[in-house]
Amino acid sequence: MRSYGQICGIAKALEVIGDRWTLLLIRELLTRGPCRYTDLRNGLPGIATNLLAQRLRELERAGVIRSEEALPPATGILYRLTERGQALEPIAKAIGDWGIPLLNDVADDDVFQTHWLLLPLRSDLQDTAPERGPVEIQLDAEDEPIVVEAVDGTVNAYIGRAQDPALVLHGSGRTITRLLFGRITLAEARRRGLRIDGDPGQLERFRLKLDAVA
């Protein structure tokens, strides 16, 4: 990116992470961990392949990511965040939080990938009833399944299947996303095809940490 020419931390930071696609690329590495070129391209639908290559070069030069050969027996190149790159997580979180109200206006051809939910699920949900013991919720949307678990008051989320979920939500990513972030009610979600197996009351244990999400 062309320099802003300002002696200002925000301006200097934006010269590194302010380009189109760059923060979404960072999001992929934050949620997925080390990725290959193809993983990144799949997580960034619509990016031109030459542009992805260029962004990777720039970020490596800036010390935000590092590329390395995958350990045998795996093959190919892995891209991973450096420590400096990991330090971008508060930025991703702040931006994602601010974006939650915008999840109302999704276009019909907007795409969804379950792992995009992981960062906000981890940081924005709290368990309001830890005394009721650990709980697992299974989310089944378009692609990979997600487990949301609350243990001792801390919420975690990861890709995978729960052995014994208290609750399974099954529906479109669009509907599940909006339900989880309080954009629609449970009744509305059902009307939009959400299927629920298990105890819906478990859902009320989880609450958004953010106060005024308008």
Residues 4-63, interacting with a copy of itself (CB under 8 A): 4-18, 20, 23-24, 27, 45-46
Instruction: Supply the minimum distance, in Å, between the C-beta of residue 1 and a copy of itself.
Output: 8
Which of 35, 70, 69 minimizes the C-alpha distance to 52? 35
Q: Which residues lie below 8 Å from residue 154, measured CB to CB, with a gap of 6+?
A: 127
C-beta separation of 62 from 18 below 8 A: no
For DNA, give the closer residue by CB, 9 or 45. Answer: 45
Minimum separation from the CB atom of position 1 to DNA (A): 6
Q: How far apart are CA 120 and CA 134, in angstroms?
A: 20
Other beta carbons within 10 angstroms of residue 104's beta carbon come to 10
Beta carbon nearer to a copy of itself, 76 or 90: 90
Q: With CB under 8 A, what is the number of residues at the site for a copy of itself?
A: 58
Q: Is 213 helix (H, G, I), strand (E, B) or coil?
A: coil
Helix (H) or strand (E) holding 137: strand 135-140
Least distance from C-beta 2 to DNA, angstroms? 5
Q: Which is nearer to DNA, 3 or 163 (CB)?
A: 3
Q: Are strands 167-170 and 195-198 parallel, antiparallel or unpaired?
A: antiparallel
Q: Least separation, in Å, of the C-beta of 96 and a copy of itself?
A: 4
Near a copy of itself by CB under 8 A: residue from 68, 110, 199, 204: 110
Residues in 170-209 that interact with a copy of itself by CB under 8 A: 173-174, 177, 181
- The two tokens of residue 36 are 């290959």
Tokens of 174: 């669009």
Q: What is the DSSP letter of 35?
A: B
User: Mask of contacts with a copy of itself, 147-166, x by CB under 8 A?
Assistant: --------------------
Three-state secondary-structure class, residue 198: strand
Q: Which residues bind DNA (CB under 7 A)?
A: 1-2, 19-21, 36-39, 46-51, 53-54, 56, 67, 70, 76-78
**CA 15/CA 19 separation, integer angstroms:** 7
Q: Please report, as ranges, the residues that interact with a copy of itself according to CB under 8 A.
A: 1, 3-18, 20, 23-24, 27, 45-46, 83-84, 87-88, 90-103, 105-107, 109-113, 116, 119-120, 173-174, 177, 181, 212, 214
